[in-house]
């Protein structure tokens, strides 16, 4: 007898997380003998708790097809740490009510933890449930996988915009702006900032300096490097991760002052760095903060990343129906060039709540440039273009219409 399946999206979204959903949907369809109805919970685990469910068979085929090319989390995401006790109990009441035999949770490290909790609770309660975690994070900090779907596309976007902004700065530098600072995501790790180094083919090409959370920020050393770069190249492009810290481990973005309204100025290391440079070196600076722009830029996704995003979704279903439990489909690199990889299961216990740091060997000795080793790692992840269809000059992303099912369980309040 086929069992039903539940899929949900969790944590910060990516340009290709919906492609993983598509992978799950298309693989589930190939196995009607094993998987009956595929349900999707809205807003991650929250939708499972509140019984906000979509039966995928009721969704228009054109909407499902658009999952492959649309950024964001189509079904809604959440940041919610599942609580033991009432929440786990409720979740299993829902599983029972809908005969859920397979639970697919698509997210990062925290979501792997949620998935593991669900798996362990099932085992403890003697419930027949297969919980599989589908990797996703632009931070690239999930362990035991070559990369996490989402990362390669954002890396491609950041390296592209670094190269583009560098050309703009170069044009203006002889008589005007000398420094450009691009702030990218990365609160704990510098994977994305480091990947910007791919834009540089020659020493004179941007990025000229990369600042990472792993390397304590030293203002004097930074200013010397900027000054030297402007002297040598004529201008300087800095890529800074949002999470850079000083030697005391204090985040720079949290040290900002107050604005004219008396509110604490939160976030933005780029304007802070620009102010230091203006004050100390008297250079005209421009700065940008990419924020969601980078994470949502499906228009510039990496084809390799998209392929892997679909593949982990499909593999999750394959693993599940072949009896794998409490695993994550991980990407295993076989070769750098040409890039070859396959998917293998890793235990959720080895993934949950663990953070993969950027290897020191990916940086040169000065810790401000990508090393040859780092380049070899990042290079294949950004390969290939796979633009969405365009309509009226803009990416043709749909307005989502997902019919939400009527509830059959009592209301549940999330505290």
Q: Which residues are identified as catalytic? A: 139
Residue list, annotated binding site for substrate: 137-139, 185-187, 242, 292-295
**Least distance (Å) between residue 415 CB and a copy of itself:** 13
The first and second tokens of residue 40, run together, are 């999707």
Smallest separation, CB 173 to a copy of itself (Å): 8
Of residues 129 and 198, the one with the C-beta less far from a copy of itself = 198
Q: Is cis: bond before 338, omega within 30 of 0?
A: yes
Annotated binding-site ranges: 12, 137-139, 185-187, 242, 292-295
CB of 179 to a copy of itself, least distance (A): 11
The span from the CA of 150 to the CA of 19, in Å, is 10
From the annotation, which residues make up the binding site for diphosphate? 12
Smallest gap from residue 368 Cβ to a copy of itself (A): 20
Which CB, 59 or 300, lies closer to a copy of itself? 300
Provide the 3-class DSSP secondary structure of residue 210: strand
Nearer residue to a copy of itself within complex by CB, 167 or 409: 167
Helices (H), 186-327: 191-195, 219-233, 269-281, 292-295, 303-321
For β-strands 179-184 and 236-241, DSSP reports them as parallel
DSSP assignment of 193-204: HHHGGGG-SSTT
Helix (H, G, I), strand (E, B) or coil at 86: helix
Closer residue to a copy of itself (CB): 355 or 396: 396
Is there a contact between 82 and 88 (Cβ–Cβ < 8 Å)?
A: yes
The DSSP bridge partners found for residue 246 are 217
Instruction: Name the nearest CA neighbour of 26 among 313, 362, 231.
Output: 313
């Amino acid at each position: 007898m086929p069992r039903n399946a539940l899929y949900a999206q969790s944590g910060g979204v990516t340009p290709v997380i919906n492609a993983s959903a598509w992978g799950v949907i298309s693989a589930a369809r190939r196995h009607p003998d094993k998987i009956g109805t595929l349900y999707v919970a809205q807003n991650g685990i929250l939708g499972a708790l509140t019984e906000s469910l979509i039966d995928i068979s009721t969704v228009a085929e054109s909407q499902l097809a658009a999952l492959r090319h649309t950024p964001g989390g189509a079904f809604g995401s959440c940041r919610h740490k599942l609580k033991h006790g009432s929440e786990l109990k409720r979740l299993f009441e829902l599983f029972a009510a809908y005969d859920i035999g397979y639970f697919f949770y698509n997210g990062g490290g925290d979501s792997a933890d949620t998935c593991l909790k669900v798996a362990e609770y099932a085992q403890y309660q003697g419930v027949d449930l297969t919980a599989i975690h589908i990797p996703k994070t632009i931070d690239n900090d999930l362990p035991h996988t070559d990369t996490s779907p989402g990362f390669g596309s954002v890396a491609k976007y950041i390296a592209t915009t670094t190269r583009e902004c560098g050309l703009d700065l170069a044009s203006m530098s002889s008589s005007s702006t000398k420094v450009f600072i691009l702030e990218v995501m990365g609160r704990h790790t510098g994977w994305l900032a480091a990947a910007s180094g791919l834009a540089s083919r020659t020493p004179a090409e941007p990025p000229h300096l990369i600042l990472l959370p792993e390397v304590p920020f030293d203002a004097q050393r930074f200013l010397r490097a900027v000054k030297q770069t402007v002297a040598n190249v004529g201008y300087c492009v800095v890529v800074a991760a949002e999470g850079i810290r000083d030697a005391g481990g204090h985040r720079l973005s949290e040290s900002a002052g107050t604005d004219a309204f008396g509110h604490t100025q939160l976030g933005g290391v780029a304007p802070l760095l620009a102010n230091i440079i203006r004050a100390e070196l008297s250079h005209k600076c421009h700065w940008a903060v990419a924020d969601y722009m980078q994470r949502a830029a499906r228009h510039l996704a990496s084809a390799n990343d998209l392929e892997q995003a679909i593949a982990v979704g499909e593999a999750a279903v394959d693993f599940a129906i072949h009896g794998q439990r409490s695993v994550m489909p991980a990407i295993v690199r076989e070769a750098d060039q040409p890039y070859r990889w396959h998917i293998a299961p890793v235990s959720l216990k080895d993934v949950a709540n663990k953070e993969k740091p950027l290897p020191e060997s990916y940086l040169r000795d000065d810790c401000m440039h990508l090393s040859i080793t780092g380049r070899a790692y990042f290079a294949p992840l950004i390969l290939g273009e796979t633009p969405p269809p365009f309509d009226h000059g803009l990416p043709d992303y749909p307005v989502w219409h997902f019919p939400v099912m009527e509830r059959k369980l009592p209301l549940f309040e999330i505290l």
